[in-house]
Chain A
């Protein structure tokens, strides 16, 4: 099983009359069986997995891409452990079953894996791209297995051809039913579209530059999905009477704003869905406005728990204390400062790239300069390297950058797709 622990980082001191409380809650899920122990053959009981692979088979996939996609799907199928419920779906302007033939999930075994591999080997590219339709078929398949941990892997190489309404309605119907990791291959898909899917369905977005990268990536995604053991975990936030929750956002491993996803449990308690958990660390930055107390008083500003239903997996307390010592109240906690910077970094990259596409070059240079400064301050060398392909970084410490004249579209998309990724706060 997975054991949860949580830590709070905050400066609890507020000036007289101060109301705004910030804290970062870092939650670590540790696999207490020891790393690498397989979960064992699925029993079909609670906690078993259901996996649907959604493959773009539209006309633009023809040639090397569809061959590599079929190859990658075969590797993914081989990564499914025995007993996992699975299906492979062909996505075009509609969605149809590749394996099994009927609209149902198959149970993974040596025999069904071989049959599924053979079926994906026969794929042909044809037709358009309707991502909403693909997701709705996955939903139908998943609903037949309500007890499982539901995960899908979506691969596309192009932009969605559906009208916006149909797409957002399909997304809304899938929310909470399954999680979806999205992969874009080549340079013709839209980072914003897949990010919309990933954020709604608690997954990730990744650019695959080369079709040949697919197999290794699919294997990693499926292995991670197989490692998830605790499903429907919610972050439960209690704040005192009179308090307002300004925001709750995940800040590690990726920036993801949860504020609008709250469901009210009671007038003072809200749940924010976090999906299924395997071993790993996630951090949440929350900001709560509490009624100001007198100087010298201390009170609880928030109680943050990870829950499954009403079972509490871990809990952490966020405090507020009022002081007239300005030295105490003006200090910013290092971890809060780090993740505030990381969230700003993600926003600066996205806004900078957007301005660049719109031809507003001075805004683009300013925003991407801020991004370079924040990435350098956080010691985030991977982001700096991605930035360096879009701007020439003259001085990272001050954020002085010059836009590059010629930029590879793939480099720009990669910077955008990975903009939400964060690095952990230094210990």
Chain B
């Protein structure tokens, strides 16, 4: 028997999802609200920033915009990630939604959206990210400030759900990225909250640099991504970031 959890995982257990632990029982049988699923509005297949309730329709949020109402879904004024109901801190950048708005005005990092081509019908497929230290990339930028790791094993991380953060884990900022470059060998050239991958089920895979310190580069010609602009990725595309990290995307 398999059931689908609110986050879209197929689970072999019917009480709690055996991938993410989300409750599977219908709402009402359990005390407390259900975990809301990520909003996936129609027609936003090429947009990394699906419109969320409470945000101005048809465009990115205004810088410094406060959440529409406490408890209502909105977007993070710093990085633009949609906010889940009553969440205090942004999942991507750790921004404190309860902080005074004056703080937000200084940082205009609201992401504009590149208009994609009219959406061709997309196959439902899943993605995986292969993370590995890359010697050639390291050598190109080697300034002696970092040491290439002796343990150069690669990790394959399936991209489940609708969004994955690339960064380095921080307890104090409540950042726990799915693609965590703080794991050994830690790449300290990667920002805590470096970039976000959007991969709505059935939609395309896009990457958006969240204003990282050292930037995110695409392809072997190391094209620097523009901060806050979502770029669509294809099977086999490679991202380079930090001192040596290469992330290769595989469609499955």
Residues of A bordering B, CB below 8 Å: 16-17, 19, 238, 240-243, 268, 289-301, 303, 317, 320-321, 324
Please, which residue of chain A has its CB at the minimum distance from the CB of B24?
A300
Contact at A292–B174, with CB atoms within 8 Å? Answer: yes
**Chain B residues with Cβ under 8 A from A240's Cβ?**
17, 19-21
Q: Which residues of B contact A243 (CB under 8 A)?
A: 21
Which single member of A292, A299, A303 contacts B20 (CB below 8 Å)? A299
A289 to B180 alpha-carbon distance, docked (Å): 14
Per the bound structure, the CA–CA distance linking A294 and B34 in Å amounts to 10
Interface positions of B from 166 to 217, Cβ below 8 Å from A: 171, 174, 176, 178
Query: How many contacts A-B (CB < 8 Å)?
Result: 76
- CB A299 to nearest CB in B, in angstroms, measures 4
Inter-chain contacts of B13 with A (CB < 8 A): 303
Residues of A within 8 A of B171 (CB): 19
Stretch at the interface among B83-91, B111-119, B237-245: B83-91
With A and B bound together, what is the CA distance between A238 and B11 in angstroms? 13
B-side binding surface: helix, strand, loop or mixed? loop
How far is A16 from B160 in the complex, measured between Cα atoms in Å? 23
B106 CB, min distance to chain A CBs, angstroms? 23
A293 to B36, CA, bound (A): 10
* Among all A-B residue pairs, the 7 with the closest Cβ atoms: A300-B16, A240-B21, A300-B21, A17-B174, A294-B84, A299-B21, A16-B88
Interface size class of B (residues with CB under 8 A): 20 to 34
Instruction: Using CB atoms, name the residue of chain A closest to B180.
Output: A242
Min C-beta distance of B49 to chain A, whole Å = 19
> 1/0 per position for B1-31, CB-CB distance to A under 8 A?
0000000000001011111111100000011
Query: What residue in chain A is nearest B19 (Cβ atoms)?
Result: A241
Q: How far is the CA of A241 from the CA of B21 in the complex (A)?
A: 8
Q: How far is the CB of A264 from chain B (nearest CB, A)?
A: 14
The contact of B176 among A292, A300, A320, by CB within 8 Å, is A292
Question: B146 contacts the other chain (Cβ, under 8 Å)?
Answer: no
Within the complex, what minimum Cβ distance (angstroms) separates A314 from chain B?
A: 16
Contacts A/B (CB < 8 Å), 28 sampled: A17-B88, A19-B171, A19-B176, A238-B18, A240-B17, A241-B160, A243-B21, A268-B18, A289-B176, A293-B35, A294-B35, A295-B85, A295-B86, A295-B87, A296-B86, A297-B32, A297-B33, A299-B16, A299-B17, A299-B20, A299-B22, A299-B35, A300-B21, A301-B21, A303-B13, A303-B16, A317-B15, A320-B21
Nearest chain A CB to B181's CB is how many angstroms away?
15
User: How far is it, in angstroms, between the C-alpha of A17 and the C-alpha of B97 when the chains are bound?
Assistant: 12
A324–B85 CA distance with the chains assembled, in angstroms: 12
B interface with A by C-beta (< 8 Å): 13, 15-23, 30-36, 84-89, 91, 160, 171, 174, 176, 178
Complex contacts, A19 vs chain B, CB 8 Å: 171, 174, 176
User: B residues within 8 A CB of A303?
Assistant: 13, 16
Assembly CA distance A34 to B206 (angstroms): 64
For residue A297, give the distance in angstroms from its CB to the closest CB of chain B: 4
Chain A's closest residue to B88 (CB) is: A16
CB of B122 to closest CB in A, whole Å: 24
Are B17's CB and A324's CB within 8 A? no
Tell me whether A324 and B35 are in contact (CB under 8 A): no
> Is B86 in contact with A321, judged by CB distance below 8 angstroms?
no
Q: B residues within 8 A CB of A299?
A: 16-17, 20-23, 35
Shortest distance from the beta carbon of A124 to any chain B beta carbon, whole Å: 54
In Å, the complex CA distance between A17 and B175 comes to 9
Docked Cα-Cα span, A268 to B20, in Å, equals: 10
Residues from chain A with a CB closer than 8 A to the CB of B87 are 16, 294-295
The interface residues of chain B lying within 8 Å CB-to-CB of A296 are: 32-33, 85-86
Contacts of A289 in B (CB 8 A): 176
Contacting pair A298 B23 (CB below 8 A): yes
Q: Known contacts A238-B18, A290-B21, A298-B35; can you find 12 more A-B pairs with CB under 8 A? A: A17-B174, A240-B21, A241-B20, A242-B20, A292-B89, A294-B85, A295-B87, A297-B32, A297-B34, A298-B23, A298-B32, A300-B22
- In the bound complex, residues from chain B placing their C-beta under 8 Å from that of A320 are 21
Docked Cα-Cα span, A299 to B30, in Å, equals 11
- Docked complex Cα distance between A300 and B15 (Å): 9
Chain A residues lying within 8 Å of B86, measured Cβ to Cβ, are 294-296, 324
